[in-house]
Amino acid sequence: MRQEHLIAAQTLCTHYNIEISFVATLNQMGLIQIEIIEQEQFINQEQIGNLEKIIRLYNELHVNLEGIDVVLNLLNKEKELKNEVTSLKNRLRLYEND
Amino acid sequence: MAFIDYYKTLGISKNATNKEIKTAYRKLARKFHPDINPDNKDAELNFKNINEANQVLSDPENRKKYDTYGKNWKHGAEYQQAQNQQQRQHQSQNQSGQQGFSEDAYSDFFESMFGGASGSSRQRQRPRFKGQDFNAELHLKLKDVYTSHQQVLTVNGKKIRLTVPAGVENGQVIKIKGKGDKGANGGPNGDLYLKFVIDNDTEFKRVGNDLYQKITLDLYTSILGGEATIDTFNGKVKLQIKPETKNETKVKLKGKGFPVYKNEEKFGDLIITYHIAMPTDLSKEEIALFKELQKIKTK
Confidence of residue B108 (pLDDT cuts 50, 70, 90): low
What mean pLDDT comes out for the span B215-241? 91
**Are residues B151 and B117 located together in one domain of the fold?**
no
Same domain as B175, residue B160: yes
pLDDT for the residue B215:
93
CB < 8 Å to B169, chain A: 86-87, 90
Same domain, B182 and B119: no
Among B125, B149, B168, identify where a domain stops. B125
What percentage of residues in chain A have a pLDDT greater than 70?
94
Q: Give the residue from B78, B105, B125 where a domain finishes.
A: B125
- B18 in the same domain as B78: yes
* B180 in Cβ contact with B160 (< 8 Å): no
Task: Say if residue B29 is in the same domain as residue B102.
Answer: yes
Burial category of B66 from C-beta neighbours within 10 Å (exposed 0-12, middle 13-18, buried 19 and up): buried
Query: Domain span at residue B120?
Result: 6-125
Tell the CATH topology of A3-96: Multidrug-efflux Transporter Regulator; Chain: A; Domain 2 (1.10.1660)
Please indicate, yes or no, whether residues B163 and B63 belong to a single structural domain of this protein.
no
Domain co-membership, B52 together with B138: no
Question: Are B139 and B39 members of one domain?
Answer: no
* pLDDT, mean of residues B33-59: 88
Give per-residue pLDDT as tens, B2-14.
Answer: 778 899 999 999 8
Residue with the bigger pLDDT between B75 and B13: it is: B13
Q: What angle do CA A51, A57, A61 make, to 5 degrees?
A: 165
| CATH number (domain holding residue B256) | 2.60.260.20
Task: Look at residues B166, B199, B232 and tell me which one is the last residue of a structural domain.
Answer: B199
B13 and B111 part of one domain? yes
Percent of chain B with pLDDT over 70: 80
Average pLDDT over all residues of chain A? 88
- Using a CB-CB cut-off of 8 Å, the residues of chain A touching B275 are none
Q: How far is B254 from chain A (nearest CA, A)?
A: 20
Looking at the domain assignment, is residue B292 inside a domain? no
Q: Tell whether the model's pLDDT for residue B87 goes beyond 70.
A: no
Rounded to whole angstroms, the Cα distance separating B190 from B33 reads 16
Tell me the backbone φ, ψ of residue A8, rounded to 5 degrees.
Answer: -60, 135
Inter-chain contacts counted by CB atoms under 8 A, chains A and B? 49
Winning range, highest mean pLDDT, from B139-143, B174-178, B190-194: B139-143
Q: How far apart (Å, rounded) are the C-alpha atoms in residues B264 and B146?
A: 9
Q: Which residues of A touch B30 (CB under 8 A)?
A: 61, 63
Separation between Cα atoms, residue B29 and residue B21, nearest integer Å: 12
Are B117 and B139 found together in one domain? Answer: no
Contact A59 B169 (CB under 8 A): no
Under the banding of pLDDT at 50, 70 and 90, the label for residue B99 is: very low
Residues of B with CB under 8 A from a CB of A: 26, 29-30, 33, 35-36, 38, 95-97, 99, 127, 130, 169-172, 191, 200, 205-208, 212
Query: Based on the domain organization, do B108 and B161 belong to the same domain?
Result: no
Q: Are residues B221 and B193 in the same domain?
A: no
Report whether B42 contacts B109 (CB < 8 A): no
SS (H, E, C) chain B: CCCCCHHHHHCCCCCCCHHHHHHHHHHHHHHHCCCCCCCCHHHHHHHHHHHHHHHHHCCHHHHHHHHHHCCCHHHHHHHHHHHHHCCCCCCCCCCCCCCCCCHHHCCHHHHHHHCCCCCCHHHHHCCCECCCCEEEEEEEEHHHHCCCEEEEEEECCEEEEEEECCCCCCCCEEEECCCCCCCECCCCCCCEEEEEEEECCCCCEEECCEEEEEEEEEHHHHHHCEEEEEEECCEEEEEEECCCCCCCCEEEECCCCCEECCEEEEECCEEEEEEEECCCCCCHHHHHHHHHHHHHHHC
State yes or no: pLDDT of B26 exceeds 80. yes
Residues from chain B that touch A18, judged by Cβ atoms under 8 A, are: none
Q: What mean pLDDT comes out for the span B64-76?
A: 67
Do A83 and B208 touch, CB atoms closer than 8 A? no
Contact: A52, B169; criterion CB under 8 Å: no
ipTM of the complex: 0.71
- Number of domains, chain B: 3
Interface test with A, best of B22, B25, B28, B36 (most A CBs within 10 A): B36
As a whole number of angstroms, the distance between CA B74 and CA B92 comes to 27
Q: Which residues of B touch A86 (CB under 8 A)?
A: 169-172
